[in-house]
Amino acid sequence: MFKNLLKNTDYVVVACIFILFIIGVIAIFSAGYATDVNKDEYIKQIIWFGAVLIMMIVIWCIDYNTFDIFGYILYGINLILLVAVLFMPSLMGASSWFNLGGILYQPSELMKIGYIICSAKFFSILKNDVTRNNKKKKWIIIAILACLFILPVCLIILQPDFGTAMVFVVILSFMLFKYGIKYRYILMCIGIALIMIPLVYFFVLNPTQQERIKVFLDPELDPLGSGYNAIQSKIAVGAGMLFGTGLLKGAQTQYGYLPIKSTDFIFSVISEEMGFVVSAFIVIVYAVLLIRLLRIAKNARDDFSSFMVIGVAGMMFFHFVENIGMTIGLLPITGVPLPFVSYGGSSMITSGMAIAIALNVSARRSKNVFLD
């Protein structure tokens, strides 16, 4: 059995995450080099990655047909934690983390995995021929899918963390395209979104969040306040030019002008000190990773596994686009990390679990893999 698993595993995906991790560790080392507070973050990142690799191997070995049970448990536990975290002290403007003896745990991260697995299971049921002849069952499944999405998203918005909430929107969108949703429903959703944007802006967002949007459109409105992060990030990206200023030689990175540089703005560190060449290479690696994930989903042996991998692709796509987009000023600044590159245990565990699920599906694309 393991011979077939090893043979069928997509090693291009494995290579991609190792490349991203190596570049990330180098950047994290540089980001913390000139400070006493974050100097050992690169060591912690290596330890996290080692632990996550072991977890990935375990997930890879398990038959993915049992994942739905794990998904329900993961979803339920983190849903409870998303309620509890609302009563935690605010950190960086949001009540999103539990402080576990100095280790920050963000329940919305693992909720992404629980949501992907649970939604994949019910989408696969919905796509089954049985529901087409049973309208009552079909609408029950649709109602369950709606609840699975609405509950965590509403709780995450209450934190407030709109960046993470958008991850769930993109995951759902990828799954809906996989399901084959009719275009009229897509246009309807776009229309509703356009109507909701001004309503959310004026009646849901607090003044600080409204200010972030204004500053995103024009960072110079508050260059020393809300616009500071965006301006410093773009300066760092531009300063790197083609080949970068050199490791440990970036002015924005080493002199502390660049904020939150080992997590949210790690791509700015890479752009400044390693230049456009390495930055573009990272984009190419992510593009290859996404293409391989879509390929795995296409060749999956059943709908459940295919929907899971599509959900993983949606999650990776949003993180990649949003994080890089915000560092170069094309998208609003959020706390969305760059998978396998940004520092952080919660992000590393979530990304590792997601990729392990995809590798599990790729290894079992042969229908006879369990019989050998």
Per-residue pLDDT of the chain (372 residues; tens, 9 = 90+): 677 778 888 999 999 999 999 999 999 999 988 776 677 889 999 999 999 999 999 999 998 989 989 999 999 999 999 999 998 887 766 778 787 776 778 899 999 999 999 999 999 988 876 556 677 788 889 899 999 999 999 999 888 888 889 999 999 999 998 988 777 777 787 788 778 778 777 777 767 667 767 777 777 766 766 678 888 999 999 998 999 999 999 889 888 888 888 888 999 999 999 999 999 999 999 999 999 999 999 999 999 999 999 999 999 999 999 999 999 988 888 878 999 999 988 899 999 999 999 999 999 875 554 444
pLDDT score recorded for residue 36:
64
Please state, in angstroms and as integers, the Cα–Cα distance from residue 41 to each residue in 29, 32, 37, 44, following that order: 7, 7, 9, 5
CA 180 and chain centroid, separation: 23
- Per-residue b or e along 164-193, where b marks 16 or more CB atoms closer than 10 Å to that residue's CB: bbbbbebbbbbbbebeeeeeeeeeeeeeee
DSSP conformation class of 232:
H
What count of other Cβ atoms lies within 10 Å of the Cβ of residue 31? 28
- Whether residue 32 contacts residue 298, with contact meaning beta carbons closer than 8 Å, is answered with no
Please state, in angstroms and as integers, the Cα–Cα distance from residue 211 to each residue in 215, 221, 230, following that order: 6, 10, 13
- Whether residue 323 contacts residue 336, with contact meaning beta carbons closer than 8 Å, is answered with yes
For residue 24, give the amino acid letter: G
Please state, in angstroms and as integers, the Cα–Cα distance from residue 74 to each residue in 109, 136, 144, 252, 290, following that order: 11, 28, 16, 40, 25
pLDDT score recorded for residue 372:
40
Give the DSSP H or E segment for 100.
Answer: strand 98-100
Radius of gyration for the chain, computed over Cα atoms and rounded to the nearest angstrom: 21
Residue 296 contacts by C-beta under 8 Å, 6 or more apart in sequence? 10, 13, 309, 358, 361, 362, 365
pLDDT score recorded for residue 14:
96
What count of other Cβ atoms lies within 10 Å of the Cβ of residue 144? 16
Distance in angstroms (rounded) separating the CA atoms of residues 29 and 48: 15
For residue 15, give the amino acid letter: A
Handedness of CA 222, 223, 227, 229 (dihedral sign): negative
